[in-house]
Homo-oligomer: A and B are copies of this chain.
Amino acid sequence: MSVTFSDIQQAARRIEGKVVTTPLLEVPLLNRAVGCRLLAKAECLQLTGSFKARGAFNNLLQLTPEQKTKGVVAFSSGNHAQGVAYAAQSLGVPAVIIMPKTAPALKISNTRAYGAEVALYDPETESREKIGEEISKSRGLTLIKPYDAEFTIAGQGTAGLEIVAQCKALGVTPDHVVVPCGGGGLSAGISIAVKETFPSTQMHIAEPELFNDGLRSLESGKREFNTHKGGTLCDALMSDSLGVLNFPILQEKRVTGFAIRDEEALKAVAVAARYFKLALEPGGAAALAATLFKLQPKNKTVVVVLSGGNTDPAIQADAIRQFSDIIAV
């Protein structure tokens, strides 16, 4: 394996004090309404509003002094952007962030507010990977990859270490752990951490229907790609494919998963506001959507990762207004 449990433990020690331990939340009324025990890992409460700060710090804290002086570059639809920009600013490292011009306005303005230089590109016609590599070479910047990198996977996996510790404190072994998936950084990292301690736990990814490459890859046994460049409100989960490193990790951990529709993600945003009192982005609610509307795990204990909350407010407000009664008591 490219990333080991020990790598994640080291990452946790490295980033301690730079990020926060997020709570594992439980709402008795919701448990009763859905007939299972839901434990929500509230990564939207992580610094920068998503889990991405974990991987960003794990990368930036391992730069050489020369790399720190020259700076870093990252490409991202917004959450990795904010994570890297915040970590860079905290550590005094210059950062260039390449973002699609279609990214939520809030994610772009936040990234700029963290002091990063933001370069916008057209996702319909340009490749963010190519742009990132070009800027990286021409300006001597270190590329901080959003998912397909050992340090990134190990950093995101620290959320999995916390899940393990929090489940142990509750005295429970989860039957299922469900994680939103774009390129597979968070799901690969959490799978390594969780399966080390709870080998019987079934790991799942949740993807938007239009970006279901991960599910197709796990089924076909080779990396599958998406042809879409947009078309989902789950902007955080729009990647071309699983990462080269990420895919075999998910295979080895026997991960399965679910594709969800945007409307299901929006329903989960409303459920999260009503029951968990959390304000999520659609992609951040994908695992909750998959759990509520696909997995429907009667009498089981399920850890659901709520991965982020950076969204345009109108989308969140519409979801809360429209779907708050979708699961009633």
Contact = CB atoms under 8 A, between A and B. Distances in A.
Interface of A: 20, 22-23, 25-29, 32, 42, 44-45, 47, 49, 86, 106, 109-110, 112-114, 270, 272-274, 276-280, 309, 313-314, 316-318, 320-321, 324, 328-329
B329 A321 contact: no
Residue among A49, A109, A110, A317 with most chain B CB within 10 A = A317
Given A45-B276, A317-B320, A317-B321, 14 more contacts: A29-B114, A42-B277, A109-B328, A109-B329, A273-B313, A274-B313, A277-B278, A278-B279, A279-B279, A313-B321, A313-B324, A317-B317, A317-B318, A318-B321
What number of copies of this chain does the assembly contain? 2
Contacts of A45: 23, 25, 42, 276-277
A162 to B, nearest CB: 12
Contacts of A27: 47, 49
Contacts of A32: 113
Given A23-B45, A29-B110, A277-B44, A320 B313 contact: yes
Nearest to A105: B325
A99 B47 CA distance: 39
26 contacts: A20-B26, A22-B23, A23-B45, A25-B45, A29-B113, A32-B113, A42-B277, A109-B328, A109-B329, A112-B329, A113-B329, A270-B313, A272-B279, A273-B313, A274-B279, A277-B278, A277-B279, A278-B278, A279-B320, A313-B320, A313-B321, A313-B324, A314-B321, A316-B320, A317-B317, A317-B320
A92 to B, nearest CB: 15
Contact of A110 (B25, B272, B317, B329): B329
Contacts of A42: 45, 277
A273 B23 contact: no
Contacts of A318: 317, 321
